[in-house]
Amino acid sequence: MNENDIASKVIGAAIDVHKALGPGLLEKAYQECLYYKLMQAGLQVEKEKPMPLTFEDVKLECGYRIDILVENKVVIELKSVESLNEVHLAQTLTYMKLGSYKLGLLINFNVALLKQGIKRVVNNL
């Protein structure tokens, strides 16, 4: 399964979660529900995946964690904020670069219509 196929499945599951819960909950609630939906769909899913930072050939645990990693290919960064900004995008890109992932989805559940809260992020390796 390629990154685009995975992203389509993630977006479908995220829409289902948003339809059921609506906006206004904490990020953690959406994370748990999306994780459950993706597991139900038979995808390999990791949540709160630690992302070490390599500095001068030394791996350092700095507390970075990917919200959800799907099929070890697609980074999912979840938010429940008033609006997405450049810092959220930079955070997603950082995780992607640290793990050499090509595709990420930045999803803000605190919107009326979820498609307004989804940003596709591509890392040109």
CATH number, domain of 96, equals 3.40.1350
Contact 97, 122 (CB under 8 A): no
* CB 51 within 8 Å of CB 65: yes
pLDDT at 52: 84
| Sequence-ordered strand ranges (E) for the chain | 45-50, 53-55, 58-60, 65-70, 74-79, 103-108, 118-122
Confidence at residue 90, expressed as pLDDT on a 0 to 100 scale: 94
Kindly report, residue by residue over 60-77, the tens digit of the pLDDT: 887 789 999 999 999 999
Task: For tokens 């993630």, name the residue.
Answer: 10
d(CA 27, CA 32): 9
Report residues of the chain scoring pLDDT below 70: none
- Tell me, what's the pLDDT at 62? 78
Token pair recorded at residue 52: 């070490």
Q: What span, in angstroms and rounded, lies between the C-alpha atoms of 68 and 37?
A: 12
Predicted pLDDT at 59: 80
What pLDDT sits at residue 57? 85
Domain that holds residue 58: 3-122
Our count of domains for the chain comes to 1
- In 3-state terms the chain splits into helix, strand, coil percentages (rounded to 5) of 40, 30, 30
